[in-house]
Every structure is written in structure tokens, then in C-alpha cells.
Amino acid sequence: MEELPSAKRARPVTINDIAALTGVAPSTVSRALSKPGRVNHATRERIEAAARELNYVPNTQARALSSGRTGTIAVLVSAITNPFYFGIIRGTQQQLKAAGYAQLLIDTEDSGELEAAMLHKMRRSLDGAILAASRLSDRALAALATEIPLVTINRNVRGVQSVIIDTPAGIGQAVEHLVSLGHRDLIYVSGPQSSWPNEARWQALRSSAARHGVQARRAGPFPAERPSGSAAADAVVNTKATACIVFNDLLAIGMLTRLRERGVRVPGDISIVGCDDIFGADFCHPTLTTLTAPIEQAGRVSVSMLLSLLTDRLPDQNQRRCVVLPTHLTVRESSGPIA
């Protein structure tokens, strides 16, 4: 059995092996590999060569244990079922990988307790967390933000950095669109009450409707899931309204299915506008008029913010930052002139 030098040791390569090979102290190896300027250029080259030769891979756990930095960011979503989060995850994934961080994906199952418990349990093994659609109270969030670097998405709390997708501003466009098509009676199909954007969207719709002198009513709340679309559709039909704006596309697509079953024509009998422009909004039947949100960008931006928070360490200056991303109305087939 001839064994290559590299195969001889089943035990993984450590900085000590590199130190032994190059004749320097382990500490020097550590510095050469992680603090570029701290060692002589020549020795550093030698060490890097040796590391390459030995096929050295640093041990993340050990590094984390002594330095406190884990190189891991958690991304919490409230329900992986929802395609909206896929976009977020895609965005965070891209940025995190580019920055050399690992992404820990956590589903909080729409439960604030689970969210808090998870975060608390993992806070020592994370460098930071991104909360997409947190169900936590403002106080709980602010408290958590002192324990661990945090960025929230679609949730505005003092003292916590955040990325806000400005769907409420887009609602104005949607209302104008519907009003110009002749609609005078708008229904807001409400999502979960515990959702922060839900409330914001309703308020935006109400004030916008008032500005245009049209009626605004509210149906729901409904869970933000496709099956709930049936109940939502029935509720809306019952109001005799001619147009509705729906909390999100998932629910709106569910409604479309139900309305088709019932023989209600869209947009002939009723116009439907969704929010988010998720996967599927452009190929459902009819295709969905919706407020297109820069979902993936939101994920990317949240990571950038979090990382700069980690490196800059400017507790006060940065603490208030809040990035607002604009949305726009994408008109498709589900909205049309009043019959």
C-alpha cells in the first residue's frame, strides 16, 4: 500500500501542520491567512504556498470559537410555502455567497414565539439575521436588535435597520388605474392581521380612495395562502363591488381559481389587482395585474445593509437606516373597465 504524503494523515490539516512545514509559529500562520498586512510579504507567500500544498481548509468552528465571528447569517421567513420568500431567499443567497457567508434558512411557521426562540437559541452561532416578515412585536424586535445584528424586511421599527418595499405608494397607482377604468367601489382583501404590510396597504388604499372620492371597503382577514382565495372570492362577490385590491398575489391567484369555478368573469364582472408580482402572476388565468415589487433586490439590499452593519460597527449612525424600495403597477389581464 503506497500512500501519498497527503493521504498519510487521516486527521485533517491544521495551521500547526503548516507551521511545522514552513518553520514558523502557528500564530504567524493564522495571521498570514487572515490578517494580510500583519506579516512579511515573503513569509506570507511561503505560508500560502504550504497551505495550498497541504490542501488546508480552515476549521470554521474553531475560528468562530475564538474570534466570535461565525460567517453565518440566518434568513427567517414566515412560511417557505410562499413564493414571495423565494425571491427574498434568492436575493440573500446571491449576496451572501458573494461575501463568503453561509446562509442558514429558518422557517418560523408564522409563529412569533418560534421566531424569538430560534433567534435566541442561535444568536451565538450567527453573525446576524435577516427577518423577512417578522411576527414579533416592536418591543421584542428592538430588544432582539441589541442582542444580534438585525435587518428586517417590510417592517419598520425604531432602532432596527430595515428594507421596506413601498407597496403602499404603489397602491396609489393601482387605485388611479381602477378609478380611471370607471370603478367607484373598491374592496381591500385583507391578509393576516398580524402582518405589518397588510395594515399599511389598507391604510394606503383608504386614503387614496378618499382622495379620489370613491368608496373603500375591506374584506377578511384571510390567511395569505392560495386555498383561502376561495373564501376571499366569495366574500368579494357578495359585496357587489366591481374591483378589489388583494393583499398579495398568492391570495389573488386563489381567488382567480374560485371565480372561474363560479363563472364570475375577470375582469368582466370584477377587476382584481394583486401585490408583489410573484412567480405565477404572469401566467395565471387571467394574468394578474399587480404591484410589482423588487423582491430579489430587497433580499440583496438587506444583506448589504447587514454586512455593512457588521463591519462598520457604528452603533448610532447606522441604527436608523431604512431603505425604501419603490414598486410599480404592472397591468395585465385581470383588471379592466367597468361593465
Partner DNA sequence: AATGTGCTGGCAACCGTTTGCCAACTTTTG
Partner DNA sequence: CAAAAGTTGGCAAACGGTTGCCAGCACATT
Report what 156 binds from DNA, a copy of itself, none; CB cut-off 5-8 Å by kind: none
Q: Is 27 exposed, middle or buried (0-12, 13-18, 19+ CB in 10 A)?
A: exposed
What span, in angstroms and rounded, lies between the C-alpha atoms of 165 and 168? Answer: 8
Binding site partner of 172, from a copy of itself, DNA, none, Cβ cut-off 5-8 A by kind? none
Question: Contacting a copy of itself (CB under 8 A), which of 151, 219, 231, 284?
Answer: 284
The single residue among 35, 38, 120, 313 that binds a copy of itself, judged by CB under 8 A, is: 120
Torsion of CA 104, 227, 291, 200, to 10 degrees: -80
State whether residue 132 is helix, strand or coil: strand
**Under rule CB under 8 A, which residues in 43-82 are in contact with a copy of itself?**
57, 59-62, 64-65, 70, 72, 80-81
| 221 preceded by a cis bond (ω within 30 of 0) | yes
In the numeric block, the cell 504567524 is attached to 28
Exposed, middle or buried, 256 (CB in 10 Å: 0-12/13-18/19+)?
buried
Among 9, 38, 97, 211, binds a copy of itself (CB under 8 A): 97
Q: Which of a copy of itself, DNA, none does 23 bind, CB closer than 5 to 8 A by kind?
A: DNA
Q: Which does 326 bind (CB under 5 to 8 A by kind): a copy of itself, DNA, none?
A: none
Distance CA(239)–CA(336), nearest Å, equals 18
Contact between 17 and 6 (Cβ < 8 Å): no
Touching DNA, residues 16-75 (CB under 7 A): 16, 23-28, 30-31, 33-35, 37-44, 56, 58-59, 62-63, 65-68
Question: Tell me, what DSSP letter sits at residue 339?
Answer: -
52 binds, options a copy of itself, DNA, none, Cβ within 5 to 8 A by partner type: none
Taking CB under 8 A as the criterion, which residues in 229-258 touch a copy of itself? Answer: 253, 256-257
Q: Residue 148 has what DSSP assignment?
A: S
Distance, CA of 118 to CA of 155 (rounded, Å): 19
# residues contacting DNA (CB under 7 A): 34
In this structure, the chain runs to a length of 339
Q: Choose the one of a copy of itself, DNA, none that binds residue 102, judging by a C-beta under 5 to 8 angstroms depending on kind.
A: a copy of itself
Q: Can you give the binding site for a copy of itself, defined by CB under 8 A?
A: 12, 57, 59-62, 64-65, 70, 72, 80-81, 83, 86, 89-90, 93, 97, 102-107, 120-125, 253, 256-257, 279-280, 283-286
Interface with DNA (CB under 7 A):
11-16, 23-28, 30-31, 33-35, 37-44, 56, 58-59, 62-63, 65-68
